[in-house]
Amino acid sequence: MFNFRRKRRYRDYDINPDEIFIDTLNVSNMNRQQFEGVIEKPISSKSIFFTGAFFVVVAIIFSVKLFSLQIIQGENFAKKSESNLLREKPIFAERGIIYDRNDIELAWNEKKSSEKDFLDRAYIKKEGFGHILGYVNYPQKDNDGNYWRTKIEGQAGLEKKYNDMLNGKNGSLLFEVDALGNVISENNIKSTKSGENIKITLDSKIQNEMYLAIKGQAEENGFNAGAGGIMNIHTGELLSFVSYPEYDPYTLAEGKDREKIKGFFSDPQKPFLNRFTAGLYSPGSTIKPFLALAALNENLITKNTKILSVGKIEIPNKYNPSNSSIFKDWRRGGHGSTDVTFSIADSVNTFFYAIGGGYKDQKGLGITKIEDYLRTFGIAERTGIDFGQEVTGTIPNPEWKARTYKDSTWRLGDTYITSIGQFGTQVSPIQMLRATSAIANNGTLHEPILISENSMNISVSKEISNEHYNLVRKGMRDTVTKGTAQNINVDFMGFAAKTGTAQVGVNNEFYNSWIIGYFPSEKPQYAYTIVMEKGNKDKSGSASNVMKNFIHSVQENYPEFWFDFKNEV
């Protein structure tokens, strides 16, 4: 067997160590900064490939982005670029004017500052219009001087209710600016449309006189607050709509006097509460005419029915005969023999105890029919007035007592107290105004309105004869001529009325005072209602005093009002 040796494919070179050392000593004195003596090596094709690929990718990315910016999003960016040069500024529309029924301006516009682009709101300088007119908020700018609030916005009252009508439509001014913000040119691209004017049913003189009369009585006799109104009994138009105290529209609109504004919110008298529509009060004896109508209509009494008043009625306690229940009249010795008209005029409690709950031979309505008839006249029901917040109210009944008291048993005494408008009875002044109007016009309930239009109206659901209405109206006229409201008996106008007083407070230490009625007494045109809230029992103030002061003040300052009814029917 042969053994072959593979021939070597390379040669062995012997390197002398001296050669290595000589090379490091750079014996040839080469300039290494210029790469002398360095062996050149060509760039690999692989490196060239990856470098080229990188630049291709970058080029593709830039191309795609450029295509997106110029082609796909080009139009949007063009608009943005244009908007950087063109700016839009609102041209504020002039807000509509609010007039009273006699074309007296109640709210209008004034130029108070040349620095403002809009007109300020101005209000009548008389008292009594805060709750009716309300107030506004003005346009506001951001830190760059651009308007972020571009309208004058109503915040309460008529300003809020009819804001869209009053506001109109703003115009626009387009102007071109340079890089420094300097205006180069401008162009009006949208014209303004002024707001609509509004004419309301209130008589501003009557409104102011009613407010001053309520305010004066409150300050003189320590009442916490008050409310009142006058309504046309044939149309539902409100001539007066008062809630005392009130807030100042100027202060709230300007927003500068922070302390005064804070005072409005912290005031215990609650000036933001519109007591005319949202205040609830025990009506006291003002519900007696409605109970009289109910008893007459149910044939429980006639115009000749007599009930003896001795100052109280006494109901024996069958479980404890020595502890009878006593229900007092306001006149300690009683009123003697009383009929329905006298009992309305002199506000005889015992008469209404008897026709409400029954007493001896006199059969009573009972709580169910009492509630039914009161609600028939819209008492404790919303009137439908399209303005602000309106509350309902309460007429006590067994179900209400079961929800309210631990002792849920309904007793005869509860019916008696409800019959004179107390216990848990709660009504608003506007409800009593509409109900009184229905007595004056033989049973039509009008929706109270502030803008002249066709008022919604319904007839009371009970068929009550004109004879019964006439009898109750006679009692209300007698209230003025010889009853509890003789202080409003004047020779230049015939008034009808019913007064009422309700005890309030933990210990009955305060009272609410009412008067309702209509005028003229022969051919009624207007109904009225006034309530004075939480008076001090040590003083002699009353709602009838408010009406007296109002009547005489109008006679002195506005006498033509009493005789200008020819266009009101």
Q: Which residues contact 451 (CB under 8 A, 6 or more apart)?
A: 198, 199, 200, 201
Q: Does residue 567 have a pLDDT over 50?
A: no
Q: Which residue has the higher pLDDT, 196 or 76?
A: 196
Q: How far apart are CA 430 and CA 241, in angstroms?
A: 9
Q: How far is CA 280 from CA 316, 395, 430, 531, in A?
A: 34, 12, 10, 10
Residue position matching structure tokens 């202080």: 487
Over residues 191-200, the pLDDT tens digits come to 889 999 999 9
In this prediction, residue 498 carries a pLDDT of 98
Q: Does residue 126 have a pLDDT over 80?
A: yes
Maximal CA-CA distance, the chain: 166
Beta-strand relationship, 444-446 and 312-315: unpaired
Task: Please choose, from the candidates 465, 478, 472, the residue with its C-alpha nearest in 3D space to the C-alpha of residue 435.
Answer: 472
Q: What is the dihedral of CA 475, 481, 484, 487, to 10 degrees?
A: 150
Q: Which residues of 530-540 are buried (b: 16+ CB within 10 A; e: fewer)?
A: bbbbbbeeeee
Share above pLDDT 90 across residues of the chain, in percent, rounded to a whole number: 59
Q: Does residue 318 have a pLDDT over 80?
A: no
In this prediction, residue 241 carries a pLDDT of 95
Q: Does residue 306 have a pLDDT over 70?
A: yes
The two three-digit tokens of residue 560, written as one number: 């033509």
Three-state secondary structure call for residue 232:
strand
Q: Does residue 495 have a pLDDT over 90?
A: yes
Over residues 431-453, the pLDDT tens digits come to 999 999 999 999 999 999 999 87
Q: Give the residue ranges of DSSP H helices in 141-228.
A: 157-161, 163-167, 204-221
Beta-strand relationship, 183-190 and 120-123: unpaired
Three-state secondary structure call for residue 517:
strand
CB-CB contact of 344 with 476 (8 Å): yes
Sorting pLDDT into bands at 50, 70 and 90, what band is 84?
Answer: low
Dihedral (CA of 379, 383, 387, 393) sign = positive
In this prediction, residue 80 carries a pLDDT of 52
Average pLDDT over residues 501-526: 91
Q: Which residue has the higher pLDDT, 367 or 65?
A: 367
Q: Which domains does the chain have, with CATH numbers?
A: 88-199 (3.90.1310.10), 204-563 (3.40.710.10)
Task: Please choose, from the candidates 214, 238, 225, 241, the residue with its C-alpha nearest in 3D space to the C-alpha of residue 157.
Answer: 241
In this prediction, residue 184 carries a pLDDT of 63
Q: How far apart are CA 516 and CA 500, in angstroms?
A: 9
Which amino acid, one-letter code, is at 149? R
The two three-digit tokens of residue 258, written as one number: 């922070």
Q: Does residue 308 have a pLDDT over 60?
A: yes
Q: Give the residue ranges of DSSP H helices in 73-203.
A: 74-85, 130-133, 157-161, 163-167
Q: What is the pTM of this model?
A: 0.81
Q: How far apart are CA 558 and CA 242, in angstroms?
A: 18
Beta-strand relationship, 496-504 and 307-309: unpaired
In this prediction, residue 77 carries a pLDDT of 58
Round the CA-based radius of gyration of the chain to a whole number and report it.
44
Q: Which residues pair with 86 in a beta bridge?
A: 176
Q: Where does residue 122 rank: exposed (0-12), middle (13-18), buried (19+ CB within 10 A)?
A: middle
Q: Does residue 182 have a pLDDT over 50?
A: yes
In this prediction, residue 276 carries a pLDDT of 96
Q: Does residue 121 have a pLDDT over 80?
A: yes
Chain mean pLDDT for the chain: 86
Beta-strand relationship, 325-328 and 312-315: antiparallel
In this prediction, residue 191 carries a pLDDT of 82
Q: Which residues pair with 112 in a beta bridge?
A: none
**Is the peptide bond between 396 and the residue preceding it cis, with omega within 30 degrees of 0?**
no
